[in-house]
Amino acid sequence: MPTRPSLIVLLVLTACEPPLGETADTGPRLVPWNPGLPSLVDDVGLVRGYTPLRSIVHLHSPWSHDACDGHGYEDGVLDEECLAELRDGLCRLSIDAAFLTDHPSAAALQPFEDTLLMRDDDEAVQLGGAVVANRIHCEGGHEVLWLPGFEDELMPVGVQGTPVPYGEELEDLYNQSDLEAFEAMASVGGIVLQAHPEERSLEELERRQDDGLQGVELFNLHAMLSPETREDIYGLDAFGWVEDIGPFTDEDSTAEPDLLFLAFYQEQGPNLERWDHLSARAPTIGIAATDAHRNVMPITLSDGERPDGFRRNMRWFSNHLLAASTDVTGADEALAAGRLYAAFEALGTPAELGFWYTDTDGLDHEIGATAAPGGTLALILPILSTGSPQDGSGQPEITGAIYKDGELWQEGAGSWDISEPGVYRARIDILPTHLTGFLGADPEPYMHGYPWVYTNPIRVE
């Protein structure tokens, strides 16, 4: 049923703009950069009657062998410092649901409850008398649901137990992608997704979809940084991103380090093509995958954090679930239904987004739904939430488009009569002029449109 611009810039803007936090109809607002994020419920409110839950999908804890510079779990010892950094990031960013996806080579060898990594005042969440998740109680009152999952050949998330005893048998199962594996993962509540679809052929993805694959990644952070993927799939310079982020890593720069994401962020066409192709065959969830490991670039930036730190990576984007409740059931149900949109919050948090379909009986169908032809499809463009950083100089340019069966169909906001079947999804772009003061001495290279929001589709059939 929701900081660091230069001191001079801040002083100048403060002198000529309304007081911090004041909403003025006559001019832009000044909201300094915040390394954290306010809760969606407080900052955005209900979205068409649903509670928005900020979720991270595809995230590695120290149980993953390649997390924490490869030292997450060594000789039977877990890296507690790395775990503390991950937990701190979840709390500071007001993450509501963290769908963990650890590699089975370590995680599947542990008792299920150990994969929840409960500490201190955490609360075991039970369903049907069994512990299925961890509720982290953050300082300040925010709560984070820690939902275990795995990533190998497949990526089942929100699993609520083990289909076979933990140990080598479970590890082997999570390394499989046959029908038996799909059925086993589904038997313990797993929502089975595909990581890195850009590395799979359409034929293989179709086979997996027929066996039970429920969704794919429309964007994966590591795909923008992996030398092989950049070069072989996206046609980019293998290590070009290292040079691209230079203006944000220079110790003398006034650019906000968190915004280094804009230096390499772009739409991942191969992922979207696969998502659209599979969506034409059957309902297919699309998620933005953080894939944070904290193992890419062990240097410290001017704010004292690494470029690949958990908090920084999770600050860049998330999946906003439209949930009927804030518990495990609500998060799982919203994800499984595809009732979500990917929001790239490095550019700001979207508020007041509306994308729905009204059928011939006057019933509204939300993102992720399936309905019959003859109704009306509507799109309302979002605005920046009140908590989104803004340098006070101006408002961003926000544009929208609707894609039908993977092809551009309509541009702008409005409503349209739908007489033909199709798979309709919305994409919202943003020109981030409101971030000019946070982008250092030369913001011009970043003053272009970026994909800001991808909604999951509404199917008309």
Predicted confidence (pLDDT) at residue 6 exceeds the cutoff of 50: no
* Domains observed in the chain: 7-460 (3.20.20.140)
Helix (H, G, I), strand (E, B) or coil at 180: helix
Please name the residues in contact with 291: beta carbons below 8 A apart, sequence gap of 6 or more. 58, 59, 60, 195, 220, 221, 222
pLDDT in tens, 37-50: 999 999 999 999 99
Predicted confidence (pLDDT) at residue 369 exceeds the cutoff of 70: yes
Q: Which pLDDT band, with edges at 50, 70 and 90, does 28 fall under?
A: low
CB atoms within 10 A of CB 338: 27
Q: Which pLDDT band, with edges at 50, 70 and 90, does 27 fall under?
A: low
Helix (H, G, I), strand (E, B) or coil at 81: helix
Residue 384 identity (one-letter amino acid): L
pLDDT, residue 273, reads 97
pLDDT, residue 299, reads 86
Indicate the burial class of 21 (C-beta count within 10 angstroms; 0-12, 13-18, 19 or more).
exposed
Higher pLDDT, 402 or 28: 402
| Cα gap 2→40, rounded to integer Å | 5
| CA contacts within 13 A on the Cβ side of 437 | 25
Which helix (H) or strand (E) segment holds residue 290: the answer is strand 285-292
Quote the tokens at residue 412.
């702008």
Percentage above 70 pLDDT, the chain: 94
307-329 CB burial, b ≥16 within 10 A, e <16: bbbbbbbbbbbbbbbbbbebbbe
Backbone angles phi, psi at 378, to 5 degrees: -130, 145
pLDDT, residue 298, reads 86
Considering only CA atoms, which of 367, 357, 341 is closest in space to residue 427?
341
Task: Tell me how far apart the terminal alpha carbons of the chain are, to the nearest angstrom.
Answer: 25
Predicted confidence (pLDDT) at residue 23 exceeds the cutoff of 70: no
pLDDT in tens, 349-364: 999 999 999 999 999 9
Helices in 175-309 by DSSP H: which ranges?
179-187, 202-211, 221-225, 227-232, 240-244, 246-249, 269-281
| Cα gap 272→233, rounded to integer Å | 13
Residue 47 identity (one-letter amino acid): V
| CA contacts within 13 A on the Cβ side of 174 | 29
pTM (2 d.p.): 0.93
The mean-pLDDT minimum among 89-98, 231-240, 423-432 falls in: 231-240
